[in-house]
Structure 1
Amino acid sequence: MIKRQTNLVLSPYIELYELIVPKDNLLRQMNELVDFTFIYDELANVYCQNNGRGAIDPVRMFKYLLLKSIFDISDVDVVERSKYDMSFKYFLGMAPEEEVIDASSLTKFRRLRLKDSNLLDLLINKTVEIALEQGIIKSESIIVDSTHTKARYNQKSPRENLVEYSKRLRKTVYAIDETMKEQFPPKVNNGLLEDELDYCQKLIAVIESTEAISSYPAVREKLNMLKELVEDDIERLSLLSKDTDAKVGHKTADTSFFGYKTHIAMTKERIITAAVVTSGEKHDGKQLQELAEKSKQAGIKVRGIIGDTAYSEKENITYAKNHNINLVSKLSKTVTHVKAGRTNPNDFEFNKDADRYVCKAGHMSFKKTSTRSKKHAKDGLGTVESYFFDVETCKTCTFKAGCYKEGAKTKSYSVTIKHHIHEEQAAFQESEFFKEESKERYKIEAKNSELKHRHGYDVASASGLSGMRLQGATTIFAVNLKRIITLMRDK
């Protein structure tokens, strides 16, 4: 049964908060800035309203997840810190002497209460609403880009993940006391998951029994991360060799990642106004219109969109023109590729970073050729570029029907290049306005870096698109609130 917590529990020690938690404390400022009761409305349908034992307050549970995102720590560590950190207890709405939850409750809350909720849009819209109320957002342009997040399993087997996490833990311990090597169990290298799991459990037991070592915060953090990996996935570890929702994406022709993309729209004031989470192979430009529409729904007036060349495809130029939006995105080959006669051109998408096409299955072409008729030798018109795919991969691809012809020795995808189209956009990108607006794009790259390096957004904290959306929701909510508080202080 859901129950609301409207006030702090009565306690003779409540006044301690006034003495210990200063007015400029980040968590105190967040509490004063946001009315978190909107969480009750969002989760009302997943709780019984009039029957059963009272559940832990959902706002408090949600705040625990926010603390995880703000400080990039594990379930165990966020609960442990809330035992003694008075700013945590104040933020959670607890009395100073109140007992904390069991860390396992956070796992259940994520899986049972937040599974089908649309927190990503809800939390972003909430922060944009606060920013607008405070008069912080004044610009009428959004900057768009994507950031990639590696899957938790990152194309590694469960055993390989255990090896990596145990190695990090040992390395941290050795930096403190190298003689601990003598107490650790012998490492296994037979490739068996069961033996590696047994080794990790023994390693954990040794470190936990040595209080002089386990009491170090750096060791405790790595220890809890390994324990969380083992405990959360122990039942499904033998079945889950990789994240089935994650896909291979490409940053360049030679570098790739296995995971997800978060496509982001942000104002010039660095407030994120919309986000779309996809698997890693999805094309950036295809998300522009959804990002713009979501930003409008959040209350932003979109008069301009600033992005790199990935967003200058023909459909986006047309969309911007129809909505009186200045699209500050340089033309690239994606807009000049003509796919005449194709019934399904979207099955192949151009990756501007790698300068290659990617098929529906996520496979990237490995080479390209360019040919042009003699009569167009000077004007460059009529150039045909052919992109070649690995035919052995095509033979076993699940999408080969209608794409690969049985018995064919090669598989290619050809496009015709025409140079003198999109004259209006080409002229616009030579204007002073375009050049000045383009200078704003660096801001979103800095925001992507903040998400990854300060809030753990470089690696997914759970598997699946739903888990990635939840991570995105809490992380962006926390980052937006921090930015709002900074801007309010500087006003």
Structure 2
Amino acid sequence: MLERQPSLPLSAHDELYDMLIPKDNFLRQMKELVDFSFIEEELKDKYCLDNGRNAEPPVRMFKYLLLKQIYDLSDADLVERARYDLSFKYFLDLVPEASVIHSSSLTKFRRLRLKDKNLMDLLVDKTVELALQHEVLASNTIIVDATHTTSRFHAKMAKEYVQEKSKLLRKTVYKHQASIKGKFPAKPTTNSLEEELAYTNTVIDVIEKEEPLKQLPVVKEKINMVKEIIDDIQEEANYGGDPDARKGYKATDYSFLGYKTHIAMSDERIITAAVVTSGEKSDTKYLKELVETSEKNGMTVDTVIGDTAYSGKDNLKYMKKREKQFISRLHPVITNGKRERGKEFEFNKDANMYVCPAGHLAVKKSVKKRKDDSSKNTQLKYYFDVEKCKVCPLRDGCYKNGAKTKTYSVTIKSTEHIAQEAFQETEAFKRLAKERYKIEAKNSELKHRHGYVKANSSGLIGMKIQGAATVFVANMKRITKLINQK
């Protein structure tokens, strides 16, 4: 049951907070800047108001979740630290002598209370509102990009993942007590997940019987992390890894298994909109949502900066209709065609035909319309004399032996493409395009400072919760820094 009017704790030891927690402490600043009551309003439909025992306040549970994200702790280690860290207790609205939750409560909160909630939009909206309120967000420019997060299991089965973490635990233990190796059971010889889980649980039991060893912080952290992984896997019905992760590509020779977060960021490096998807989703399809969500959150957008992935015809039309300046360079295929440098076919304006690298002129042309997809441009197809191609010294890689025709197709640039091609040669475009590096730096910050390089649970719902918490924390750190600089 959710208390209608939670009582405020009082303690004779409250003054310890003022004595020991500096004014510039990030948790103190975030607590003082943000009114978290919106969390209770958002989650009240997940609680009963008139039956059962009083529940832990949803605001406090959400704050536990933020602390987990900020400090990259397992549930058990988070609760343990909250027991003695005064900055944690202050942020959690607990008096110094108050008890803390059991770690299982946080697990249930994530799985039961946050399910079906669009936390990302809610939290980004609150941070943008805060930035506008404190006048640290004044630009009308957003930069868009997508960053990838690998699946918790990568391309591994759950059994392989448990095996890997169990091995890390044992290696840590051996550094402090090598003799314990003889007390561990024999390793499983099958591919059974159940056997691997049983083996790992036995390893943990053996370690925990060694009192001095299990009290070592480095050992305790590894044990708690492995326990949390085992608990998550056993909770999920799918034992085959991450069911929602999909393969995406960062380059032709670099793929990943996981998720994408599509991001819009202001010139002040505050994230104004974000969408979490599976890894195979195309960046270009989320431009409209990022722009409109940024505006819904209170930002005025008149300029959008993105890489070539966003310069599709539909996006060019959308930006023109919305009368926004679009800094996105056309893909080289549209600008230069598909031929390698030195092998281009050249257009002869006098003959109104293309000439191949060997100097042969096309003999006819036809128009090829894309009826199946109106977003694609019309093509012109040029035909060459096959008899000349058969004996041409440059035929290798150009003419396929036995082919009855030799053609060269050219996409007719749309009005939007022609206008964008001219715009991208202007000094204004080139100057604004240089600002795109800022979002690359933000992506790196999310991954390397906030642990966003890998999903900390499996499934799209878990990834969305992690993404929302990560973006909220990153925004709060940036907003706090900007306020302090004023």
Give the whole-Å Cα distance in 2 for the aligned partners of 1:60 and 1:339. 62
Deviation at 1:190, TM superposition (A): 2.3
Query: Are residue 195 (structure 1) and residue 195 (structure 2) matched?
Result: yes
Q: Could you say which residue in structure 2 is the equivalent of 1:487?
A: 482
Q: Map Cα deviations across residues 259-279 of structure 1 (whole Å, 9 max, x no partner).
A: 110000001111000011111
Paired letter, 1:332: H
Give the whole-Å Cα distance in 2 for the aligned partners of 1:296 and 1:129. 11
Q: Could you say which residue in structure 2 is the equivalent of 1:284?
A: 283
Give the whole-Å Cα distance in 1 for the aligned partners of 2:268 and 2:147. 19
Q: Indicate the SS of the match to 1:189.
A: coil
Q: Could you say which residue in structure 2 is the equivalent of 1:469?
A: 464
For the structure 1 residues 372 and 100, does the alpha-carbon distance in structure 2 shift closer, same or farther, using more than 3 Å as the test?
A: farther
Q: Could you say which residue in structure 2 is the equivalent of 1:418?
A: 411
Give the whole-Å Cα distance in 1 for the aligned partners of 2:77 and 2:277. 29
Tell me, yes or no, if the aligned pair for 2:4 and 2:49 is still in contact at 8 Å. Answer: no
Paired letter, 1:331: L
Deviation at 1:342, TM superposition (A): 4.8
Q: Indicate the SS of the match to 2:144.
A: strand
Give the whole-Å Cα distance in 1 for the aligned partners of 2:5 and 2:454. 33
Query: Are residue 205 (structure 1) and residue 234 (structure 2) matched?
Result: no
Tell me, yes or no, if the aligned pair for 1:7 and 1:93 is still in contact at 8 Å. Answer: no
Give the whole-Å Cα distance in 2 for the aligned partners of 1:372 and 1:471. 53
Q: Indicate the SS of the match to 1:77.
A: helix
Give the whole-Å Cα distance in 1 for the aligned partners of 2:88 and 2:201. 30
Give the whole-Å Cα distance in 2 for the aligned partners of 1:10 and 1:88. 17
Q: Indicate the SS of the match to 2:453.
A: coil
Query: Are residue 441 (structure 1) and residue 436 (structure 2) matched?
Result: yes
Q: Could you say which residue in structure 2 is the equivalent of 1:406?
A: none
Give the whole-Å Cα distance in 1 for the aligned partners of 2:409 and 2:184. 63
Give the whole-Å Cα distance in 2 for the aligned partners of 1:256 and 1:283. 14
Q: Indicate the SS of the match to 2:449.
A: helix
Q: Could you say which residue in structure 2 is the equivalent of 1:19?
A: 19
Written as runs of structure 1 = structure 2, the 5 A alignment for 1:59-458 is 59-236=59-236, 239-332=238-331, 340-343=369-372, 373-374=383-384, 417-418=410-411, 420-421=413-414, 422-458=417-453
Q: Indicate the SS of the match to 2:259.
A: strand
Tell me, yes or no, if the aligned pair for 2:232 and 2:457 is still in contact at 8 Å. Answer: no
Q: Indicate the SS of the match to 1:251.
A: strand
Deviation at 1:217, TM superposition (A): 2.9
Aligned-residue Cα RMSD (Å) equals 2.4
Give the whole-Å Cα distance in 1 for the aligned partners of 2:305 and 2:368. 26
For the structure 1 residues 108 and 373, does the alpha-carbon distance in structure 2 shift closer, same or farther, using more than 3 Å as the test?
A: same
Query: Are residue 478 (structure 1) and residue 450 (structure 2) matched?
Result: no
Following superposition, which runs of at least 4 residues in structure 1 exceed 6 angstroms of deviation? 336-339
For the structure 1 residues 344 and 202, does the alpha-carbon distance in structure 2 shift closer, same or farther, using more than 3 Å as the test?
A: farther
Deviation at 1:84, TM superposition (A): 0.6
For the structure 1 residues 170 and 22, does the alpha-carbon distance in structure 2 shift closer, same or farther, using more than 3 Å as the test?
A: same
Give the whole-Å Cα distance in 2 for the aligned partners of 1:266 and 1:150. 22
Q: Please give the TM-score of this superposition, normalised by the length of structure 1.
A: 0.82
Q: Percent identity?
A: 54
Q: Could you say which residue in structure 2 is the equivalent of 1:404?
A: none
Q: Map Cα deviations across residues 427-473 of structure 1 (whole Å, 9 max, x no partner).
A: 11111111111111111111111111122211112222222111111
Give the whole-Å Cα distance in 1 for the aligned partners of 2:462 and 2:253. 28
Q: Could you say which residue in structure 1 is the equivalent of 2:355?
A: none
Give the whole-Å Cα distance in 1 for the aligned partners of 2:263 and 2:129. 17
Give the whole-Å Cα distance in 1 for the aligned partners of 2:235 and 2:455. 20
Q: Could you say which residue in structure 2 is the equivalent of 1:57?
A: 57
Q: Could you say which residue in structure 2 is the equivalent of 1:354?
A: none
Q: Map Cα deviations across residues 85-112 of structure 1 (whole Å, 9 max, x no partner).
A: 1100000000111111011111111121
For the structure 1 residues 139 and 6, does the alpha-carbon distance in structure 2 shift closer, same or farther, using more than 3 Å as the test?
A: farther
Which has more radius of gyration?
2
For the structure 1 residues 345 and 92, does the alpha-carbon distance in structure 2 shift closer, same or farther, using more than 3 Å as the test?
A: farther
Give the whole-Å Cα distance in 2 for the aligned partners of 1:25 and 1:32. 11
Give the whole-Å Cα distance in 1 for the aligned partners of 2:410 and 2:88. 58
Give the whole-Å Cα distance in 1 for the aligned partners of 2:259 and 2:19. 44
Q: Map Cα deviations across residues 218-267 of structure 1 (whole Å, 9 max, x no partner).
A: 33222211100112322546x42032222111111122111110000001
Deviates more, 1:336-345 or 1:208-217: 336-345
Q: Which runs of 5+ in 1 are unaligned?
A: 349-370, 376-414
Q: Map Cα deviations across residues 129-169 of structure 1 (whole Å, 9 max, x no partner).
A: 00000100111110111111112232322211111111222
Deviation at 1:7, TM superposition (A): 6.2
Deviation at 1:424, TM superposition (A): 1.2
Give the whole-Å Cα distance in 1 for the aligned partners of 2:233 and 2:5. 32
Tell me, yes or no, if the aligned pair for 1:121 and 1:274 is still in contact at 8 Å. Answer: yes
Paired letter, 2:264: A
Deviation at 1:6, TM superposition (A): 5.8
* Equivalent pairs, count: 429
For the structure 1 residues 236 and 126, does the alpha-carbon distance in structure 2 shift closer, same or farther, using more than 3 Å as the test?
A: closer
